[in-house]
Chain A
Amino acid sequence: MAEKTCELMDCGHRACGGCGPAIAAKLILKGTGENAIVVASTGCMEVFSTPYPETAWKVPWIHSLFENASAVASGIESSLRRQGRDEKVVCICGDGATFDIGMICISGAFERGHDFTYICYDNEAYMNTGIQRSGATPYDASTTTSPAGKRSFGNSRPKKDMPQILAAHGAPYVATASIAYPNDLVKKVEKAVNTEGPCYLQVHTPCCTGWGFDGSKTMEIGKMAIESGLWVNFEMENGDISKAKKVKRKPVDDYLKMQKRFAHLFKPAINSEEIAKIQTIADTNAMEYGIDL
């Protein structure tokens, strides 16, 4: 018998077992509380949580298009303010909607200074359409549009630095988080929604289907991303890095080996040259954010 749930993200949605974004949605709503309005982009989360006439959302939720969540949020924020209402406006959108197709709307909304929080659940590719690369896909990840092959090691470009781009818009609070550190994520959501002005939060959400790992390993993968230095949890206040999670770093191999999207770097032979490049990305992160213990 199903237990009665007190989560604002209800049970019964259709996400994969071990879905990182589904965990993120639940945690994000713990941070916003019930006095929030969620604006979604088209994508996995929208599809697994709102097949008409069912919805998993116990807060008001709206989805308009793939690329316009931040513009829709602008209108909602304006309307609420004029009505004297105090709900928090929170976009929850995938990395394709954020890094790529939604950029112009996001830039406009941040430049206008709306009081809202934009949360990107970053699973590092277009998962809903079948694992195509996005501007958030990491270097060398094999996706259906950046496949590893005889002349390719997978995605040829590093991940776009969205937090810096939004910090450059003058956002008062920009942060990254991971579902593998739930309390930290919830606190950052609380902080973002309670900071006046446009805030940005980018949440690492491992995708078992797209990355190729067993659904029971989601949290483990998320932790390993942090421990390898390939994902850094940090906070920026008014453009300056105020905090970054320190770790005793492990080699990137430990993270890469766990996922099929990087399998071509280990089979049929270990590609030391490419792995070294990825290690350099982690080392640069470590230096830039000062995360080494």
Chain B
Amino acid sequence: MMQIMEGSHAISEIVKLCRPDLISAYPITPQTHIVERLAEIVADGDLDADYLTVDSEFSALSACVGASAAGSRVYSATSSQGLILMSEVCFNASGMRLPIVMSIANRALGAPLSIWNDQQDSISMRDSGWFQLYAEDVQEMADLHILAYRAAEDHDVLLPAFVCFDGFILSHTYEPVDIPTQEETDAFLPPFRPYQRLDANNPISMGMYATPDYYHEFRYEMDQAMIRAGESLKKYGAEFAEYFGRDYSSPVESYRMDDADIAIVALGSICGTIKDAIDEMRESGQKVGLAKIRTFRPFPRDEIISALNGVSEVAVLEKNISFGSAMKGAVGLEIKEALDNKGIPVFSFVAGLGGRDLRKKDIKNIAGLARDGKGDIFYGLREELL
């Protein structure tokens, strides 16, 4: 049913529909509204789940590891410092192949302390073995949670998932959103069927240590699983479209790319602004398009190559910084690698860090800079502060 909802509350409603057995989270801005509403939902008996109020994000995800290993569907949500505090558990959960789903309200990392949005937190966890989805709007952000559970729990995948969305920009914004019914959700998302679990009737050891004779292959298997996660997301994305009428089957979404000369590549809520800016640039005859990355891990290399085929310049707008990297942004590096040998220049624009606002004029400037062969820069620096 279509309703006007705050983004965070839309996630709470969707998580309820996914029927987790355990919700375990620690408060951090701007994730709090999600878990507060879930606490109310549990307190009212509208969701039969355990809600653990833990001592830290570290314990929050550790409890999820335990419950998932024992055979339960689990949920957590965090942001920024909380995610980084969890990082040791993140690497552990993926190594143990536990299909945990976690919301990431993207927020900058300190120092300096900032509660505002960029994507440094989840991008920094790029190599943690979780697949990463990025949402453009509240509807997509809500939907991707259902899709994430379906793909994560696929026995061909068994990897945990981040559903990432820009803190405040999406988490605290009211938008019309279609929340499916419980029956509709159940039809798409079957109950959790663990591949294996802790069980006294069938004792197994989990999380053992591996010598050099074995470790290497475990990591290889994880990489293979990550590749299969990409296939699984496409398959279930197409199925999702049949059930709910919204299509997330492609990890890359193209907007006005058919005849584009300049392509902008981006992740998250900025894609909405970019689409509006592109419409205006198109009106003045500039052939600009957008390739929106929905799945950052596994990286959709083939789809990126296909989406960017035939353009003359690529501008990657990204809210993260890989300090000391020649291209500045972590996403730009991968786009450049994908387009290696294609002769298409790729420019990274680090922009909007720590919540710095990005407007249509900024998008137009970035497109212009790329056209002039300029990039791999911090965009929008206040020179007077330097």
Contact = CB atoms under 8 A, between A and B. Distances in A.
Nearest to A33: B200
Of B74, B200, B205, the most chain A CB neighbours within 10 A belong to B205
Given A60-B203, A78-B50, A65 B62 contact: yes
B68 A52 contact: no
B180 interface: no
A71 B208 contact: no
Contact of A62 (B72, B198, B200): B198
B111 interface: no
Interface in B41-63: 49-50, 52-56, 58-59, 62-63
Interface in A33-92: 34-37, 39-40, 46-47, 50-53, 55, 57-65, 67-68, 71-83, 87
B96 A61 contact: no
Interface string B353-384: 00000000000000000000000000000000
Interface in B11-45: 21-22, 24
Contact of A64 (B53, B92, B199, B204): B92
B71 A79 contact: yes
Contacts of A77: 66
Given A79-B72, A80-B70, A71 B203 contact: no
Contact of A63 (B56, B89, B206, B211): B206
A105 interface: yes
B88 interface: yes
Chain B CB count within 10 A is highest, among A50, A74, A77, for A74
Contacts of A60: 198-200, 202-206
A39 B66 contact: yes
B219 to A, nearest CB: 13
A168 interface: no
Interface centre among A51, A65, A68 (most CB of B within 10 A): A68
B209 A105 contact: no
Contact of B52 (A35, A53, A65, A112): A112
Contacts of A67: 58
B196 to A, nearest CB: 10
B52 A74 contact: yes
Interface in A251-282: none
Contacts of A16: none
B69 interface: yes
Nearest to A104: B55
Task: Choose among B55, B68, B211 the residue with the greatest number of A CB atoms under 10 Å from its CB.
Answer: B55
B67 interface: yes
A60 B197 CA distance: 9
A51 B63 contact: no
A61 B203 contact: yes
Given A75-B70, A79-B70, A82-B21, A61 B205 contact: yes
Contacts of A73: 66
Given A50-B205, A51-B209, A104 B58 contact: yes
A285 interface: no
A108 interface: yes
Given A61-B206, A62-B69, A64-B89, A75 B64 contact: yes
B214 to A, nearest CB: 5
Contacts of B72: 75, 78-79, 82-83
A64 B96 contact: yes
B208 A50 contact: yes
Interface string B189-218: 000000000111011111111110010000
A107 interface: yes
B164 interface: no
Contacts of B266: none
B203 to A, nearest CB: 5
A67 B59 CA distance: 9
Contacts of B74: 75
B58 A76 contact: no
Interface centre among B52, B59, B66, B74 (most CB of A within 10 A): B66
Given A74-B66, A79-B72, A104 B208 contact: no
A233 to B, nearest CB: 29
A109 B88 CA distance: 19
A71 B92 contact: no
Nearest to A108: B55
Contacts of A55: 205, 208
Contact of A52 (B64, B65, B88, B211): B211
A106 B183 CA distance: 40
Contacts of A108: 54-56, 59
A59 B208 CA distance: 14
Contacts of A80: 70
B209 A64 contact: no
Interface centre among A40, A63, A81 (most CB of B within 10 A): A63
Contacts of B71: 79, 83
Contacts of B210: 51-52
Given A35-B200, A59-B200, A76-B198, A64 B62 contact: yes
11 contacts: A37-B198, A59-B203, A64-B62, A74-B63, A75-B64, A75-B66, A75-B69, A79-B67, A87-B200, A108-B55, A111-B55
Interface of B: 21-22, 24, 49-50, 52-56, 58-59, 62-72, 74, 88-89, 92, 96, 198-200, 202-211, 214
Given A78-B50, A79-B22, A82-B21, 12 more contacts: A65-B88, A71-B63, A72-B62, A72-B65, A74-B52, A75-B68, A75-B70, A79-B71, A82-B22, A83-B72, A104-B55, A105-B56
The 3 closest A-B pairs by CB, nearest first: A75-B66, A108-B55, A71-B62
